[in-house]
């Protein structure tokens, strides 16, 4: 639309110029034939410039398009212990920062979010939309889940079900499936060995990220700290044993975030080293942008316009 307006503006101004030259020539009793040569020349190269700006495309060619990626579920523990501040500003906030970095590095992969404590739910299905994932991440807080301890069984069962909904057995074998399990390791459910065996059968790799310290910390609760039934302040500690066991049993790895180190970069590198599946391979018709041809002709006519001189009025 802008190109058309530019052409109309040029045409209108040039018509005004021609009328003025015609009046001056008429005053001296002459006919300015030369001005029409310049007019036609300039009309031609302005039209060619507009065509070049519009980007003409022709000459179809075949091109093969391949998309390669992984399916990644990020499961984050939202039990109350994730509010502990042994990792500043809190375990959950540090985990969210790590997840943002993780998502930004895998823009060609489908990523989904799962939240869990004693239960597990899909917070975001598998998607390529990084902006949507970031919005979902910002809403994460421990209050989203029912009160209770951490249980890995519901989240592992949910992941097994979601990854099991494939189109064909052949797709199951080729698909790169990854679960990033983020927790402080306080598993009160058990049955890790049984679920590890099942995930291993489905070619699902678990990369575990432990958040917290073995020294532990109090859990903020309003203006005080969480207490047990006896009125004693609860101290929550990182228990990596179950996470390590689960990762090793599924050909994955265990990483950690504590007050001294953050192994997010190592986690990203480990996932990068896994080959993704070829999701789609198809041939499409592609037309090339041939703007250079009208642009070259326009430059040639501009050069002629500069070199050719005409006398409009002889005095």
Among 147-156, 262-271, 281-290, which is the least confidently predicted range?
281-290
More confident residue, 86 or 304: 86
Kindly report, residue by residue over 226-244, the tens digit of the pLDDT.
888 888 898 999 999 989 9
Per-residue pLDDT band for 74 (boundaries 50, 70, 90) equals very high
Name the H helices within 28-129: 33-54, 91-105
Cα–Cα separations (whole angstroms), residue 146 to 109, 142, 275 = 31, 9, 37
- How many residues are present in the chain? 315
Q: Per mean pLDDT, which of 114-123, 163-172, 180-189 is the most reliable?
A: 114-123
| Cβ atoms < 10 Å from Cβ of 177 | 23
pLDDT of residue 164: 80
pLDDT in tens, 143-182: 888 766 788 889 999 999 998 875 444 444 456 899 999 9
Q: For the chain, what are the domain ranges? A: 2-56+290-307, 66-280
What integer pLDDT is reported at residue 169 of this predicted model?
Answer: 47
Residues of 239-256 as b/e, b for ≥16 C-beta within 10 angstroms? bbebbbbbbebbebbbbb
pLDDT of residue 59: 58
The domain 66-280 is classified under which CATH number: 3.40.50.410, 3.30.1360.120, 3.40.640.10, 1.10.260.40? 3.40.50.410
Q: What is the pTM assigned to this prediction?
A: 0.66
pLDDT tens by residue, 51-65: 887 777 665 566 655
């Amino acid at each position: 639309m802008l190109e058309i307006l530019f052409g109309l503006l040029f045409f209108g101004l040039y018509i005004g110029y021609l009328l003025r030259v015609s009046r001056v020539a008429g005053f001296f009793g002459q006919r300015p034939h030369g001005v029409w040569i310049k007019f036609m020349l300039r009309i031609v190269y302005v039209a060619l410039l507009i065509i070049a700006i519009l980007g003409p495309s022709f000459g179809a060619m075949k091109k093969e398009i391949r998309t390669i990626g992984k399916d990644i579920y990020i499961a984050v523990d939202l039990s109350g212990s994730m509010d502990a501040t042994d990792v500043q500003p809190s375990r959950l906030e540090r985990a969210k920062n790590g997840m943002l970095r993780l998502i930004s590095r895998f823009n060609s992969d489908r990523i989904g979010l799962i939240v869990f404590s004693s239960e597990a739910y899909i917070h975001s299905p598998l998607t390529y939309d990084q902006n949507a994932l970031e919005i979902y991440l910002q809403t994460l807080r421990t209050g989203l889940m029912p009160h209770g301890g951490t249980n890995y069984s519901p989240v592992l069962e949910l992941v097994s079900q979601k990854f099991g909904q494939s189109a064909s057995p052949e797709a199951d074998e080729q698909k790169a499936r990854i679960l990033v399990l983020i927790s402080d390791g306080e598993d009160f459910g058990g049955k890790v060995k049984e679920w590890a065996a099942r995930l291993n059968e489905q070619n699902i790799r678990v990369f575990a990220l432990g958040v917290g310290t073995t020294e532990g910390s109090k859990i903020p609760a309003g203006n005080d700290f969480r207490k047990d039934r006896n009125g004693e302040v609860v101290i929550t500690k990182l228990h990596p044993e179950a996470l390590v066991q689960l990762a090793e049993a599924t050909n994955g790895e265990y990483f950690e975030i504590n007050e001294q180190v953050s192994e997010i970069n190592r986690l990203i590198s480990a996932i990068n080293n896994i080959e993704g599946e070829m999701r789609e391979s198809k041939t499409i018709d592609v037309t090339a942008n041939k703007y250079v041809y009208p642009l070259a002709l326009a430059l040639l006519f501009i050069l002629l316009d500069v070199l050719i001189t005409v006398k409009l009025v002889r005095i």
